[in-house]
Structure 1
Amino acid sequence: MGKVVVVTGAGDGLGRALARRLAADGDTVVLLGRTLSKVQAIADELGAPHFAVECDVGDPDKVRAAFAKVAERHPKIDVLINNAGVFEPFTLAEASDAQILTALNTNLAGPIFCARAALPLFGGAGHIINVTSESVNVRMPMLWMYAGTKAGVEFVSDMWSRELESAGVRVTVVRAGQMMDETKTGTNWPMEVAVRFAQENAKVGLNLRERPISHYRSVTDAFRAVLDMPADLHVGLVTLSGSRR
């Protein structure tokens, strides 16, 4: 029997790939995204019973409103995948208020807001999957804000695992490496920022052009395995990275 899965950041990248994969596997996907037109386009592509809901995960009121809409169609959900995130390099000296707050609200507060809103819909059994990043360990220059928020998600996920166990809710972190598909043409960062990011990483021995990249389709295989784990098996952390093979 298929699961009801809520995916945040479902309009692009890994979120879009997950929505397509889960729908093809027979799950019902609720696509959440800040830009309604993007998630609606994927929902239209997938067709009923999949549907899109506008949601800025960094805004608690919008999260509450989004999950109220989810509950209208699905009073019981099985899985929440906290995938939405913002990824932007900058130094402490140049960080703007907007950059700091957007990263904090989207990457760290967002999963918290969404998990809190999803809890009443799990109904005694559910699964929260929080997507983090290899940058937590790799420590890439100029990426401290992104990596810091992802490290925070990993910490709260570990605490939630114990807190929510009695409620029948499992919590898994998927720590992912670089990913891409045929539609990914690069970043939307200013060229100067992208060049400096590459240069600063090269100084510490990280050649961004040589780091292996996995395909989104391959990564969705790992999520499928996590989703299908037996109920008596807890998977706390899955670490994924690209391979040159």
Structure 2
Amino acid sequence: MQARVQMKQYVGPDLGKVIMGQVTFLWEFTSPCFNTWKKRVTSLAADSARVVANLPSRRYRLQQALECAALQMLDCNSMMSRVCAIFGGSRGIGHAVAQLLAQKGYCLAIIARNLGRAQTTAKNLGAGHLAFRCDVSKEEDIQNVFKEMETSLGQINYLVNAAGINRDGLLLRTKADDMLSQLQTNLLGTMLTCKAAVKGMIQQQGGAIVNVGSIVGLKGNSGQSVYSASKAGLVGFSCSLAKEIARKNIRVNMVAPGFIHTDMTTHLKEEQLKKTIPLGRFGEPQEVAEAVAFLLESPYVTGQVLVIDGDLFFLHRKLNAALLPKVGLFLVHSDQPSNQRWKQVYFHV
């Protein structure tokens, strides 16, 4: 309503109606999801009227207003051609990914179990981003939210799976319900969102998926056996899915963060733990978001697990290799005529 009033002030009620009508017609003709963007259309028409308000000729003002609106619609349609669904986008790493992708011009669907938090996130990102509620542990919820997203925003081109839960505890003290909830959310939920997204991506002959795992899925951690299992499962799933759908020009990658400043790490003893990290600090969600954006936009990268942990994982591997005894021995024969000696080579297993 405010935009309509401004438009009348800029160019008068008669020309304002003409500009609004023409912009609406152009938008309906060019945009696949006009209903979602009605407020944006009105604002866009008002912006166009403001730009041309001081031009002398009425006809020239109308012409310039439509040209201005058309240019803005090209930008908006370009934005809608890059639609990304972010599960778990209302907090932590998912929220950081949403902020970065919004800056890059993506049209975002923020999905979380808490709809209010998702709506707040979407609102803070600016116009054109929508919020949806979904429990990824329930297949029916996932199917319904993809229908809603496609109706409101069009086909999903990009998918980021950042939703996850953790229930720390020794295996002997972990209840079966806690095991199932972690596996259903962290592993099965990601499988189901990928399945739903890939259907649309195959029709478009292209798309990109990034799953957010964890370093403990690669090296394990005491007190996190179930959580580690769910994240380790993501590694095999992501790499296998990448092979299945690569010929459809759909890429699947994964990030494996280490200690990152999120709600999941607030209870940890940071001063003690950061001494085990070569870079000497915890990471920030924005740093993981940069890696996610890189994988979404790199057309020749698929089936990869990108570790973001300040070299914690590789230090762990180096220490293990140094401590392991030389348990194997095999002989290598040199093919060089001048050297027919057999060489002893020790190796680690």
- SS at 1:164 equivalent: helix
1:75 deviation in Å? 3.0
Does 1:18 pair with 2:67? no
Does 1:85 pair with 2:167? no
1:74 deviation in Å? 2.8
Identity of aligned residues (%): 25
Match of 1:214 among 278, 283, 293: 283
Number of the residue aligned with 2:216: 135
Does 1:238 pair with 2:303? no
State how many pairs are aligned: 225
Number of the residue aligned with 2:35: none
* Aligned ranges 1:69-218 → 2 under 5 Å: 69-122=148-201, 123-180=204-261, 186-187=266-267, 207-208=272-273, 210-211=275-276, 212-218=281-287
Q: Equivalents in 1 of 2:97, 2:178: separation in Å? A: 27
| 1:10–1:31 CA contact under 8 A, matched in 2 | yes
TM (normalized to structure 2)?
0.61
TM (normalized to structure 1)?
0.85
Runs of 4+ residues deviating >4 angstroms: none
What's the C-alpha RMSD, in Å, of the aligned pairs?
2.1
Mind listing any 5+ residue stretches in structure 1 that lack a counterpart? Answer: 188-193, 199-206
Number of the residue aligned with 2:26: none
- The one-letter amino acid of 1:60's match is E
- SS at 1:180 equivalent: coil
Number of the residue aligned with 1:190: none
| 1:75–1:121 CA contact under 8 A, matched in 2 | no
Q: Equivalents in 1 of 2:225, 2:145: separation in Å? A: 30
Q: Equivalents in 2 of 1:135, 1:170: separation in Å? A: 24
1:109 deviation in Å? 0.3
Q: Equivalents in 2 of 1:124, 1:65: separation in Å? A: 23
Mind listing any 5+ residue stretches in structure 2 that lack a counterpart? Answer: 1-77, 313-349
- The one-letter amino acid of 1:55's match is C
Q: Equivalents in 1 of 2:215, 2:126: separation in Å? A: 34
- The one-letter amino acid of 2:310's match is G
- The one-letter amino acid of 1:148's match is A
Deviations 1:143-188 (A, max 9, x none): 111110111011011111111112221110111111116x88824x
**Of the two, which has the highest radius of gyration?**
2
Match of 1:223 among 292, 308, 313: 292
Deviations 1:212-238 (A, max 9, x none): 311112222222222221x24436221
Q: Equivalents in 2 of 1:165, 1:119: separation in Å? A: 11
- SS at 1:238 equivalent: strand
- Of Structure 1 and Structure 2, the greater helix share is in 2
Deviations 1:92-148 (A, max 9, x none): 221123211110110000101101111222221011111111112332101111110
| 2:295–2:301 CA contact under 8 A, matched in 1 | no
* Aligned ranges 1:35-46 → 2 under 5 Å: 35-46=114-125
- The one-letter amino acid of 1:236's match is Q
1:47 deviation in Å? 2.6
